Amino acid sequence: MTATDPALTALAQGWVALSLLHGKIEAHIERALQSAHDLSVREYSLLDVLSRQHDGPGGHLQMKQVADAVVLSQSATTRLVTRLEDRGLLRRYLCDTDRRGIYTDVTETGLALVTRARPTNDTALREALDEAVKNPELAPLVQTLEDLRIPA
């Protein structure tokens, strides 16, 4: 393959389209969450992931797992957790079985906020996808997203 190989060019164009779609969706959701709930997309994502934890086996996520779930580095995740903890939306505590492990739970205030913000997030996502599908370069990607059925 050469730098002018059509397959590579098509792949690069697809990557650009995917990046564009992601950026448009994230910016639209960011504006909606900020204006309605004073939350960033990252803050919402973290609260959403942590709000789905449970007390059963494997129900709590370690910080590495949380970082992977919200697509941030561990250090960025720790800073984000600290900001939300300072706002009273999260709390950290030591794992009962492994004193090196630190877990993070959403507080009642955080649960109430993420519950109020969830419809805003979902509506903004739908709006962003409905707008993006009008762009012929983005329409196939939007359709692929619509077709995804990821088990919960």
Answer yes or no: is 1 within a domain.
no
61-98: pLDDT as tens digits:
888 888 998 999 999 999 999 999 999 999 988 877 76
49-60: pLDDT as tens digits:
999 987 777 778
Residue 19: which CATH number?
1.10.10.10
Are 19 and 138 contacting, i.e. CB atoms less than 8 angstroms apart?
A: no
Per DSSP, what are the bridge partners of residue 92?
A: 104
Answer yes or no: is 93 within a domain.
yes
Are 117 and 36 contacting, i.e. CB atoms less than 8 angstroms apart?
A: yes
Say how many domains are in the chain: 1
Structural domain for 142, as ranges: 6-147
pTM of the complete model: 0.86
Task: Give the whole-angstrom CA distance, residue 48 versus residue 89.
Answer: 12
At a CB cut-off of 8 Å and minimum separation 6, what does 74 contact?
A: 63, 64, 67
Element (H, E) at 105: strand 102-106
Answer yes or no: is 97 within a domain.
yes
